[in-house]
Amino acid sequence: NEWLTTHNEWYEGVGHFTPSTNNGLEATNNVIKKENTLRERLPLSRFKVLAFEIVEKWSKSYERSLKQYSDKQTISLELWTSGYQWVKLNKSILSFSTECDNLVQYYIPAGDGTKITNVDIDVMKKMKWYSFDQYKNKAFNIWCVTLPTDKLKWLDGVCNCPAFFKKFMCKHVVGLSIRLNYCKPPPAAKNIPIGEKRRRGRPTKSKKALLVQ
């Protein structure tokens, strides 16, 4: 009961559109290493001076509006590919109106499932589980995607899957928007065979372990 009553805000996504507990810190840490310390281990005296320089630089960049903010999501080619491949799975979707006239909720099967029923949705909405195994099997077999009725605002869509909680965008929002003709994927997103993932970054030049290079 401790994690359901006393500490019931432990899960990722409890703060909507806020960085994950560690995600925001790691992003800042990466900037410091790339732009300031250059991944060198500095003496304490030198790092203290550098820390003041970093804070001053950041303060001035915010004050002069030199640091630009993005209020819209940018979709990577990898995400476009994942969304397009999700569309090709041709999963069944159930839609429901919401209290807001300009929003629609879509329920879609997760994982390898292709069909869902109203009974499955009711079970998920009640959020009553009699065992952990039941929770694991039922709570994560349906995702709920909410999209604006205005197709020009599809980037404002939300999903309750773990990927969306971390990055504020996921293949379900992208894929459903493609399926509803709210947007079109770039041609490059269609080059990867269904079921395969686009490789990240540049091709590796090093050989596999235990091979002489």
Q: Which residues of the chain have pLDDT under 70?
A: 1, 3-4, 7-24, 64-66, 68-69, 194-213
pLDDT digits (tens, 9 = 90+) for 78-134: 999 999 999 999 999 999 888 888 999 999 999 888 888 898 888 888 878 788 888
In-domain check, residue 32: yes
Query: For residues 106 and 97, what is the distance between their CA atoms, to the nearest angstrom?
Result: 9
In-domain check, residue 212: no
Specify whether 137 is located in the same domain as 94. yes
Specify whether 55 is located in the same domain as 93. no
For the chain, what is the domain count?
2
Predicted pLDDT of residue 204: 52
Specify whether 49 is located in the same domain as 106. no
Specify whether 32 is located in the same domain as 121. no
Specify whether 91 is located in the same domain as 51. no
Specify whether 7 is located in the same domain as 82. no
In-domain check, residue 88: yes
Domain that holds residue 15: 2-63
Distance between start and end Cα atoms, the chain: 56
Specify whether 34 is located in the same domain as 86. no
Would you tell me the crossing angle of helices 118-126 and 132-139 to the nearest 10 degrees?
A: 130
